[in-house]
Structure 1
Amino acid sequence: MSLIDRYICWLFLRVSLCSAACLIGLIVLIDVAGNFEEFIGFGDHSLHGFLRVIGTYYLARSLIYFDWMSALIALMSTIFVMTWLKRTNEMAALMAAGIPSSRIVKPLIIAAVAVATGAALNREFLLPRFSDELSRNAQDLRGTRKRPLEPKYDAETDILLAGHHTLAAQQQIVNAAFQLPQSVPGYGRKLVAKTASYRPPDNDRPGGYLLSGITQPESLSKLPTLTITGRPVVYSPIDTDWLEENQCFVVSKVTFQQLAGGKAWQRYAPTWHLISALRNPSLDYGADLRVTVHQRLLRPFLDISLLLLGLPIVLSRNHQSLFVAVGQCLLLVAAYYLLTMVFEWMGSRSYLLTPAQAAWGPLIVLAPFAYTVSKRMWN
């Protein structure tokens, strides 16, 4: 890497950090102002507790903010660096030395690719580690707030998983009422309990929900384990040594996050978890999850296409104004996100396109434009 490459990359890094800090800081300030009372309460009405709460809360949320704005940060940083080089006449000096503009922007493109790669790694490795914290809002930092539960069918066992509300911290359903696919002698049609706590698979034990404080059926402790199509579905304490008398265990491959998190878990789950969810026989997701999987794979390429569309704007000889260039690029970003949302809607809501077509559509539209406008720059 030459001296000029290191200089441009160092300038890009500083601008990127400043841009990210300003944008994320602005969002944090607005959010803190709207949730000030909640943070004070969770911080035990002390300055130290308040700073600790908002530090912990926004440390995780800064990752999702970066995911939202990574393409914008890379584009804005590139615009600022190129405009700075033009305003200080460094660009003219480099071109007078025989260095073409395409060679000058090469380290910027490499740096933008690094930002897109970092955003992809953030989505796949960092966001899943903080998925629990990110799924809670400022009113439920400790996960103890009651959240209404939307009933969900287990497509493999045909059991309806329902209850009054959930507690995220305990991964628990309160006043659980699970409905069996058909009336079973002794069991009836429903399993009603005070709580249902999710238990992941462990050695030979399947994953599912541990029902405690069972009120229906009343004689559960005398009933054998319920099997459907030859597989145990409801374990009974009479023939299961790890269950207490007033407990039972309902087998399900629907995790607590997938049951209680709605669609929020999809935003914070890694791609391989999304693919596993599509292959999970207990889940029956529509086209929206398939669109999300395709978008995850194509997101870095879309970010680079946006950069290649924005570079010719700032390299134009018509103006050297930073504000004009930023304004034009903001319009470009708005058009980019609008195009992405329209294709997503057509694939996941209206079913006008297949999930693959909806995800690839923006890239098919943007890539030729990016190639056309950037070809002049390379020439």
Structure 2
Amino acid sequence: MKILDRYIAKNFLYGYFISLFVMIGMFLTIDLFMNLDEFAELLGMEDATGHEMTMMDVMMNVVRFYGIRCALWYKDMAGMIIVIAAVFSLTRMTRSNELVAVMASGMSLKRILAPILLLSVFLTGLMVADQEFLIPKYAYELTREHDELSYENAYDIWFVGDDRGSLFCSQEYDEKTKTLDEPFIIIREPVDGSGDIYRVTGKIRAASAVYDAQRGGWVLTGGQQMLLGGGDTELTEGRQSKSIDFYKSNLTAGDIPIRKREGFKSLLSLRQLTELENNTGVRTTDMAALALQKHSRVTKPIINLIMLMVALPVLVCRDPKAMKTAVLISFLTTLSCFLVVFVCDLFATEVFLGQIRPAIWAWTPIFIFFPVALIEIDSMRT
């Protein structure tokens, strides 16, 4: 038994690493070919230290860009790679009539699935570690465009709100110095006490803004506030401008990195999603998307294993002539699972019957395909 398990595990891992390198290499080659001119635009640009980018610097930037991007591609393709590896290993055994020899020894073909499933659980764990630890660490890097340089702990923010309804914008926020560069603050107030509809009453511009924790707000350098009034006539006739050196807000320097993550929820860890969900400034419309992402952290690894359980019984066939059909059926069932997951994610944040139920939509693919997997395994011809 141990010899057979090692043999099956060896074949499976062999197929897994081949599939992994081929698929990631394919994604990398296509993306690099389509965006090579974007990287070329970096030549001669200045980085954060004022150093002019040389050809070697551009090449190192490309290596860093795709080195980090591979972690994201691995997370997205982990389930499919496992299925392809299973197809590779079982097809090889079927073509060599090794499954017939296993049956002739009196062993059930279901026993062959054990090492593949065990290794799949371990590899799915690697995908979870990638999602929870590696990807969140480089989330900002993963959101930059091909023609952008990486500025550590510095990024732009747009329309980040506080409890008063004001919106903060800045082309660059530096986490180290807690400084907003040329901030633009839109001052608003709710219409008729409503928390959903706001009216713009003023705006603030400044050269820079530094957060002061003791005073609970932002110290402005060269700040100018324009009051727009409350009605339409006042917008044109009652404009006033005055100097302002401090703006009180519950939006702290520590909140900005958390709120920045609203734009790339899929790149966050479960802990970061919880922090974002508990932040008082998060928009109500984003809460359903956050709930969906939190449930997906649990359901996606399970769905990857269920996809494998659906595909494996079809692949365990004794006749080499039927192997092509078995491979086609396994890929179609895997594709159908992907489509169901996609549709459920699409409708998870929509309102049905006056309610939003992201948890139900996130778990629906498991409710559908797990019974199918059990039925297929039970009906295997062993």
TM-score (normalised: structure 2): 0.77
Indicate how the Cα distance of structure 1 residues 279 and 158 shifts in structure 2: closer, same or farther if over 3 A, else same: same
Deviation at residue 38 of structure 1 after TM alignment: 2.4
Q: Is the 8 A contact 1:142 1:169 kept in 2?
A: no
The CA deviation string for residues 45-90 of structure 1, in whole angstroms up to 9 with x for no partner, is 8664343222100111101101110000011101111111111222
Q: Is the 8 A contact 2:171 2:183 kept in 1?
A: no
Aligned amino acid, residue 21 of structure 2: A
Q: Is the 8 A contact 1:306 1:336 kept in 2?
A: yes
Aligned amino acid, residue 215 of structure 1: Q
Identical residues among aligned pairs (%) = 22
> Partner residue of 1:162?
168
Deviation at residue 327 of structure 1 after TM alignment: 3.2
> Partner residue of 2:206?
193
> Partner residue of 1:20?
20
Q: Distance in 1 between matches of 2:11 and 2:205?
A: 63
Q: Is the 8 A contact 2:157 2:173 kept in 1?
A: no
The CA deviation string for residues 283-327 of structure 1, in whole angstroms up to 9 with x for no partner, is 233312111111111111111111110012211346556654443
Q: Is the 8 A contact 1:212 1:248 kept in 2?
A: no
Q: Is the 8 A contact 1:80 1:322 kept in 2?
A: no
**Matched residue of 1:139: which SS?**
coil
> Partner residue of 2:372?
369
Indicate how the Cα distance of structure 1 residues 169 and 42 shifts in structure 2: closer, same or farther if over 3 A, else same: farther
Bigger mean CA deviation after superposition, 8-17 or 126-135: 8-17
Matches within 5 A, 1:81-120: 81-120=89-128
> Partner residue of 2:48?
none
Aligned-residue Cα RMSD (Å) equals: 3.3
**Matched residue of 2:147: which SS?**
helix
Q: Does 1:274 align with 2:273?
A: yes
Indicate how the Cα distance of structure 1 residues 279 and 261 shifts in structure 2: closer, same or farther if over 3 A, else same: closer
Structure 2's unaligned 5+ residue stretches are: 45-52, 191-200, 228-243
Indicate how the Cα distance of structure 1 residues 129 and 323 shifts in structure 2: closer, same or farther if over 3 A, else same: farther
> Partner residue of 1:255?
255
Q: Does 1:131 align with 2:139?
A: yes
Q: Is the 8 A contact 2:15 2:85 kept in 1?
A: yes
Q: Distance in 2 between matches of 1:93 and 1:54?
A: 50
Q: Is the 8 A contact 1:24 1:65 kept in 2?
A: yes
Deviation at residue 277 of structure 1 after TM alignment: 1.6
TM-score (normalised: structure 1): 0.78
> Partner residue of 1:330?
331
Candidates 140, 158, 175, aligned match of 2:148: 140
Q: Is the 8 A contact 2:202 2:226 kept in 1?
A: no
Q: Is the 8 A contact 2:219 2:247 kept in 1?
A: yes
Q: How many residues align?
A: 339
Q: Distance in 2 between matches of 1:348 and 1:246?
A: 41
> Partner residue of 1:6?
6
